[in-house]
Structure 1
Amino acid sequence: MEKLNGQSADVVADNIDQLKALFPEALTEGKIDFDTLKQLLGGDIDEREEKYGLNWHGKRRARQLALTPSTGTLRPSPEESVDWDTTQNLMIEGDNLEVLKLLQKSYAGKVKLIYIDPPYNTGNDFVYPDNFQDNIKNYLELTGQVEGGAKISSNTEASGRFHTDWLNMVYPRLKLARNLLSEDGVLFISINYRELAHVLRLCDEIFGEENFVGNVTWKARVKPVNIGEAKYRPQGETEYVVIYQKSDKEGKFQPLYTGGVRSYPHEINGRKYRLTTILKSNRGANFRNTMSFEIDGYAPPDGQRWQGGEEEIKRLNIEGYLEFRDGTPFKRYYEDEEGAEHDPFYCFMESDWSSTSEAGKAELNEILGNDHGFDTVKPTRLLKTLIQSITNPGNNEIVVDFFAGSGTTGHAVMAQNSADGGNRRYVLVQLPEPLDPENKDQKTAANFCDQIGKPRTIAELTKERLRRAAKKVKDDNTLFAGDLGFRVFKLDSSNIRAWEPNRDDLEQTLLDHAEHIVSGRSEQDILYELLLKLGLDLTVPIEQKPIAGKTVHSIGAGALLVCLSDTIDRDAIEPLAQGIVAWHNELKPAVDTRLVFRDSAFADDVAKTNLTAILQQQGLDDVRSL
């Protein structure tokens, strides 16, 4: 019976396995023979001492950090979630570096789109741990979850390592993020001029120069910036979105195909078409009362207006592009008229207010009120454009953002699904950075958390935005029946006790470690750690059934069967094993089933061996303990 430990995927071991598969002769007694490997690679080795690339102090350590397994886990928090039992979306509180490590087995190669808006390195807006000796302990101290001496640091130019610290923060995260992308997946990075050149060099190294897709400039603001004494300098009205693809094996990245990719579920007179909303909120800088006129006796309700002027909407109605369903107007888009591809990024350089950060803040003000504490917010239109450009509405594709901030990406996924009937999923990660009401820069956000009765952290603002954004999406499209929930998980130390011997009292150490599960952890905590360790999606269905007086859990329709009973004596072995076999035969899983038991539950090794033997005789060979 194999023993499970509390570590995440071992990236180094996976890399060695891949090398072994490609070049078996380059490994001797489990070690890489570099001389042989160089010979096998022929002339494709660059051994020059001086070569082109981006180097900085700490790069080797940052690379090693990405390769070091995590000893953490993600603990479920159903009470803070929305539609826990049915949702496919995730909101994870934690240090995104550790979370990315923990997601490696379950989500490697499964993510279609990653969007990140990392700190722009302005000198005071990102925190990073100073000590990586124990990442999980350091994280818990940093976020105030345990007492300790960890210091929250800002990356100031006075430190002398302004760009270096930023590079050390972002490099290992990008290394791990690439592993999550599918072969046809794409990474989008929002960035400004300070670190643009560094991001391009980093991604060239991590993704390969051949997988650079483009650098889109977008008009981030319309209003002039208050720049004080520097009023005669060029104003920073634009920012950038850097785009890299995982690989070109599936074909080069393409802008949106408005024909082949989109779904056209409706048909009239032999023409297939799709529907999108023709109404929008009347809040914002562009609202005009003249856009609340009547069409065929219908006028938009309070709080909404037409997406266009009266002449345009009347033309659409006359030409058969307007359709009313349950009293709500929609616009038809016919498949035969949308056959050609077009560049979805054209809107980025428009002067249209709805594409700017100012619009993003106005959206957030509408949802959370004016006192949320976020100064700069990406607009959902920006994110919806990126989402449309690479994802297919009906393929259950995953969108990841591990610098979630106010939660714009989750909001945009829900809004885009509502617009085109999609079933995309989101995974957001946000550090629960503490907010200090005595800090003038954090006071507003801390007070907002007090108002909603939540802990003073940025992650609480993210969750609250998602809850309210879901309600707004539903209010804006009452016919939408898609996923508007999310499961909350929180980073913590592993549920599986690490071996920490006391050399002065080994006997007591053995007694202390007889139980391998950390005290105070629930069965649900352990089940979800098993999902991570065994590579299963965190939203797979979980059932439970009493068998021989024990509770057995079926995860993923029988892909994993788990019994975490405290005691399994010899008399229970036969009925428990036979009951598990019978349930397995009912479930008929499409993949080989893995079984996990609590190691300390067995009365002795004989009981454990007997249970394993009975299960293996019935074809259930993968039996493990923790």
Structure 2
Amino acid sequence: MNKMSMESVDIVAKNIEKIGELFPNCITEMLDEKKSTPENKVYKKAVNFDLLKQMLSGEVIDGDEAYEFNWVGKKAAIVEANKPIRKTLRPCLEESVNWDTTENLYIEGDNLEVLKLLQESYLGKVKMIYIDPPYNTGNDFIYRDDFSQSVEDYNDQSGVYDEEGDRLFKNTDSNGRFHSDWCSMMYSRLVLARNLLSKDGVIFISIDDKEVANLIKICDEILGQDNFQGMFVINASPSAIDYGCIAKMHEYALMYSKNSLQVKCYQLTEEDKKFDYKDELGEFIIYPLYNGNVAFNPQTRPNLFYPFYLNPNHMLDDNFYEIGLEPKEGWIEVWPVISKKDGIQRVWRWGKEEKARKNLNKEIVGYKNREGEYRIVQKYRSDKKTIRSLLVDKCFSSRRGTAEVQELFGRKVFSFPKPTELLQQFVESGTSSDDIVLDFFSGSASSAQAIMNLNAKDQGKRKYIMVQLPEPCDENSEAYKSGYKNICEIGKERIRRAGRKIKEESPLTTQDLDVGFRVFKLDDTNMQDVYYSAGDYSQGMLPMLESNIKPDRTDLDLLFGCLLEWGLPLSLPYSSETIEGCTVHNYNDGDLIACFDENIPDSVIKEIAKKQPIRAVFRDSSFVNSPSKINVGEIFKLLAPDTRVKVI
């Protein structure tokens, strides 16, 4: 039982906790001089004010970077994550599948910039993120997979030489140049990705041994050490790859949560699970009722240390014996076992009154093992299991991932994609049936196929957002020879083919399966660069200033640009209609209604207002003059006073 403090609230500690919720990377620890003694040092949470100032600044702040984990360019990575951009996502209907009905997204572009654009629309809405970033191996696959700096660039940024070229101090960190760029690349993206995770969300990150140590430190800063859920060891190369002293077989995947107190994870379904026994309630297997963790013992859990009593003369069936909690003549006393390894007395997993008594001879029974010893066992009926940290089956190997792509395309168009079974287990563990999954290093879109597979299996409605830079394929590669000029073309085609395959294999159960996706492409802003001071205007600029919107942009470009700014998801239903010759766009049945035509008559404005949308958007040039624009405001005040009206 905790003692009352009998003192006022520690406001500083409370404020530090609040800062930690917003900026976990700015929380460090320091010696608590008031509570520490020479024999017992006590630490407390503290704020790294230099890092906090940098998080709140749009410019690189001068001064030494004193946080425990540091590299050249770390402050610049923070600035880069926080820096606004003038970009947009342009819809591409011709490359999409089932545009009108799908809730999935495929976005082409630099993932750092895409993550910035998604900050409003998907803030706190993504249940799970999976990424398979470049491993920084130096190998030139389809990705630019080497983020090392040149010695000259590293020395210049780290201040090894002065302006005259003289060495300033001994360079004892020469290996840092092979990691700094990679760390910066990951840091800025994970800062943004964390914002998108829901409070109960999780992130899985695949990695190998070259950068796993650095990745853990980065994730500990950004997501918080307390949110580290664990590390998976994956048998990626069962036949082993010889790297000299060690033939390498495995890779890793890290799992972090957004908030360890609110995280929700789910068990996997074991389709081939075999049950040894059966009763009137169904099939089951048995587990010992004692707790296998020796940290739980009579000293630490005295309430879980008590005897059962077993009747050796009364069997409930051919396998199990009657048990009770009170002694009776002829009954045998049964205690939790003593650990053979270290001699520690174990305790039960269930409390005596609250659980054990209610389930006597129903879900817990007596049992005699092969050695003739009596035990108390629990009937376990579930076909579920918690995901394992050691994933050794061949279905998790890179070779299996390659075979899956080859099966879809008829040739090897992508090297070392992750196998769908691995990603399917991650998704099943990290999401429920209606969640959003984000992969911003989507590669060949293995995760999209895994999500479709899982939805087909459990009738789920999970949605995905794939983000991939359109990296060019090598002209000598099988992919290029097959007509795929960049990775995005491979990813989109894989989703198309995988969707068709899933539906063909299970036509009766996949009729409602969403195998479509809306394609968006990162591009410069829809708006003209017309921000000049009066003295900067010239006669040649006048034609350009006739419209503040770029001439190659469509109504849909403008509509989805407005959705991003207003923070609406990009996957909701969309429709359009013509009213008196004007095209009126309706997004999600009135979440936003827009009309971008010129000279919109008042009658059309009134028809839009009568629909009472939550938001309405028009072009600035939709109105002849300022009085017309004022009149629009008056119409909405009269017919739809709660509608927020904006112009672009």
Q: TM-score, normalised by structure 2?
A: 0.67
Which residue in the other structure is 2:410 paired with? 369
CA distance in 1, matches of 2:108, 2:266: 33
Which residue in the other structure is 2:108 paired with? 93
1:102 equivalent to 2:117? Answer yes
More displaced stretch, 541-550 vs 414-423: 541-550
SS at match of 1:105: coil
SS at match of 2:206: strand
What is the aligned-residue RMSD (CA, Å)?
2.8
For the 8 Å contact 1:183–1:249, the answer to whether it is kept is: no
Sort the Cα spacing of 1:242 and 1:488 in 2 relative to 1 into closer, same or farther, 3 A. same
Deviation of 1:184 after TM superposition, in Å, equals 0.5
SS at match of 2:385: coil
Deviation of 1:508 after TM superposition, in Å, equals 5.0
For the 8 Å contact 1:84–1:487, the answer to whether it is kept is: yes
Per-residue CA deviation, residues 345-387 of structure 1 (Å, 9 max, x unaligned), is: 26x433x321211111111111112231x22121111001101
SS at match of 1:545: strand
CA distance in 2, matches of 1:177, 1:562: 30
For the 8 Å contact 1:119–1:125, the answer to whether it is kept is: no
CA distance in 2, matches of 1:540, 1:516: 28
1:381 equivalent to 2:413? Answer no
Which residue in the other structure is 1:214 paired with? 230
CA distance in 2, matches of 1:535, 1:486: 20
CA distance in 2, matches of 1:125, 1:97: 21
Of 234, 254, 267, 1:256 maps to 267
For the 8 Å contact 1:406–1:462, the answer to whether it is kept is: yes
Of 132, 142, 147, 1:155 maps to 147
Deviation of 1:157 after TM superposition, in Å, equals 6.9
Sort the Cα spacing of 1:541 and 1:254 in 2 relative to 1 into closer, same or farther, 3 A. closer
Per-residue CA deviation, residues 562-614 of structure 1 (Å, 9 max, x unaligned), is: 1101223xxx22x1232112233xxxx6xxx1111110121100100111111
Sort the Cα spacing of 1:521 and 1:50 in 2 relative to 1 into closer, same or farther, 3 A. closer
CA distance in 2, matches of 1:50, 1:404: 33
Sort the Cα spacing of 1:126 and 1:470 in 2 relative to 1 into closer, same or farther, 3 A. same
Of 472, 475, 483, 2:504 maps to 475
CA distance in 1, matches of 2:412, 2:418: 17
How does 1:130-529 map onto structure 2 within 5 Å?
Answer: 154-156=146-148, 159=151, 161-227=177-243, 230=244, 233-250=245-262, 252=263, 254-256=265-267, 339=382, 342-345=385-388, 348-350=390-392, 352-372=393-413, 374-393=414-433, 396-437=434-475, 440=476, 443-448=477-482, 450=483, 454=484, 456-479=485-508, 480-481=510-511, 482-501=513-532, 503-506=535-538, 508-509=540-541, 512-529=544-561
For the 8 Å contact 1:113–1:186, the answer to whether it is kept is: yes
Which amino acid letter does the alignment assign opposite residue 400 of structure 2?
A: A
Bigger Rg, structure 1 or 2? 2
Sort the Cα spacing of 1:426 and 1:43 in 2 relative to 1 into closer, same or farther, 3 A. closer
CA distance in 1, matches of 2:65, 2:108: 42
Deviation of 1:94 after TM superposition, in Å, equals 0.6
CA distance in 2, matches of 1:51, 1:340: 50
CA distance in 1, matches of 2:432, 2:616: 35
Deviation of 1:193 after TM superposition, in Å, equals 0.4
Of 590, 594, 618, 1:597 maps to 618
CA distance in 2, matches of 1:50, 1:75: 39
CA distance in 2, matches of 1:526, 1:342: 47
Deviation of 1:155 after TM superposition, in Å, equals 3.0
Q: TM-score, normalised by structure 1?
A: 0.69
Which amino acid letter does the alignment assign opposite residue 407 of structure 2?
A: E
Which residue in the other structure is 1:307 paired with? none
Which residue in the other structure is 1:111 paired with? 126
For the 8 Å contact 2:100–2:574, the answer to whether it is kept is: no
1:625 equivalent to 2:625? Answer no
Sort the Cα spacing of 1:534 and 1:46 in 2 relative to 1 into closer, same or farther, 3 A. closer
Per-residue CA deviation, residues 409-434 of structure 1 (Å, 9 max, x unaligned), is: 00000001111111111110111112
Deviation of 1:526 after TM superposition, in Å, equals 1.1
How does 1:538-553 map onto structure 2 within 5 Å?
Answer: 538-553=570-585
Gaps of 5+ in 1: 1-18, 24-41, 129-151, 260-268, 273-335
Which residue in the other structure is 1:73 paired with? 88
SS at match of 1:495: coil
Name the structure with the higher helix share: 1
Which residue in the other structure is 1:313 paired with? none
For the 8 Å contact 1:548–1:579, the answer to whether it is kept is: no
Sort the Cα spacing of 1:47 and 1:491 in 2 relative to 1 into closer, same or farther, 3 A. closer
For the 8 Å contact 1:255–1:341, the answer to whether it is kept is: no
Per-residue CA deviation, residues 126-173 of structure 1 (Å, 9 max, x unaligned), is: 899xxxxxxxxxxxxxxxxxxxxxxx8953575552201111111111
Sort the Cα spacing of 1:172 and 1:47 in 2 relative to 1 into closer, same or farther, 3 A. closer
Which amino acid letter does the alignment assign opposite residue 625 of structure 1?
A: V
Equivalences, count: 463
Deviation of 1:82 after TM superposition, in Å, equals 1.2
CA distance in 1, matches of 2:537, 2:530: 14
SS at match of 2:99: coil
Which amino acid letter does the alignment assign opposite residue 444 of structure 1?
A: E
For the 8 Å contact 1:123–1:157, the answer to whether it is kept is: no
Which residue in the other structure is 2:37 paired with? none
Deviation of 1:254 after TM superposition, in Å, equals 4.0
Which residue in the other structure is 2:611 paired with? 583
SS at match of 2:464: strand
For the 8 Å contact 1:213–1:253, the answer to whether it is kept is: no
For the 8 Å contact 2:266–2:431, the answer to whether it is kept is: no
Sort the Cα spacing of 1:45 and 1:226 in 2 relative to 1 into closer, same or farther, 3 A. closer
CA distance in 1, matches of 2:497, 2:629: 50
Identity %: 40
Deviation of 1:270 after TM superposition, in Å, equals 9.7
Sort the Cα spacing of 1:118 and 1:422 in 2 relative to 1 into closer, same or farther, 3 A. same
Sort the Cα spacing of 1:43 and 1:180 in 2 relative to 1 into closer, same or farther, 3 A. closer
Which amino acid letter does the alignment assign opposite residue 404 of structure 2?
A: E
CA distance in 1, matches of 2:624, 2:49: 59
CA distance in 2, matches of 1:577, 1:468: 44
Which amino acid letter does the alignment assign opposite residue 624 of structure 1?
A: K
For the 8 Å contact 2:90–2:521, the answer to whether it is kept is: yes
Gaps of 5+ in 2: 1-14, 20-43, 51-63, 155-176, 271-279, 284-378
Sort the Cα spacing of 1:179 and 1:45 in 2 relative to 1 into closer, same or farther, 3 A. closer
